[in-house]
Amino acid sequence: MTLFLGLGIAGVVLLALSLIFDGLLEGLFGGLLDGLFDGLLSLPVIAGFLSMLGFGGAIVLGTTGAGTVAATAAGVLAGIVAAWLTWKFSRALMRDQTSATPRGTDLVGTSGSVVTAIPADGYGEVLLRMAGQTVKLAAKSPVPVERGTEIWVEATLSATSVAVRPVER
């Protein structure tokens, strides 16, 4: 019983360590194993197997009159199922891709409005829509632009400032 519980606890500890060291086993031996097991040697998969081997074996040993061999067999079976489920779940999470992160260059060509007047060759502030969110950025223009004027973004100067021009209608 102690051996099974020790294996289960070791699996849980390994799972916690996998948050930091995942991919370590796949990168061993100079990349020799790279792609060979396709994630089956990842630490979460091994931790799932080890913890279910230990806890499954302990449960069978403690609740039935079966011996150590039957408890080990049940633990191995539970470990294989847990490892397979962990592997499938991690592959599904890796395929879950989000849309691209918006960049400052995505603002070029968008319209907005001036919130703080922009002096000639000076800075003011504009409101723009970026990825569905309203953002307030510093803005520079070669000509003075009054508050409330609609503008177009011509260039991104930095992460927090843009070059703009007033919209002419």
pLDDT tens digits, one per residue of 49-72: 999 999 999 999 889 878 889 999
State phi, psi for 144 to the nearest 5 degrees.
-65, 140
- 157, HSE (Cβ side, Cα atoms, 13 Å): 12
Spatial separation of the C-alpha atoms in residues 110 and 108, rounded to whole Å: 6
Residue type, 32: L
Q: DSSP assignment, residue 138?
A: E
- The residue ranking higher by pLDDT, 25 or 54, is 54
Note the maximum CA span of the chain.
Answer: 88
Radius of gyration of the chain (CA): 29
Q: DSSP assignment, residue 133?
A: E
pLDDT bin (cut points 50, 70, 90) of residue 23 is low
Supply the angle between the helices 68-95 and 2-21 in degrees, to the nearest 10. 20
Spatial separation of the C-alpha atoms in residues 79 and 87, rounded to whole Å: 12
Per the CB < 8 A criterion, the answer to whether 126 and 157 are in contact is no
pLDDT at residue 102, rounded to an integer:
66
pLDDT at residue 147, rounded to an integer:
94
pLDDT in tens, 126-158: 999 887 888 899 999 999 999 999 999 999 888
Flag whether the pTM goes above 0.85. no
pLDDT at residue 46, rounded to an integer:
85
pLDDT at residue 91, rounded to an integer:
80
Residue 125 has pLDDT above 70, yes or no: yes
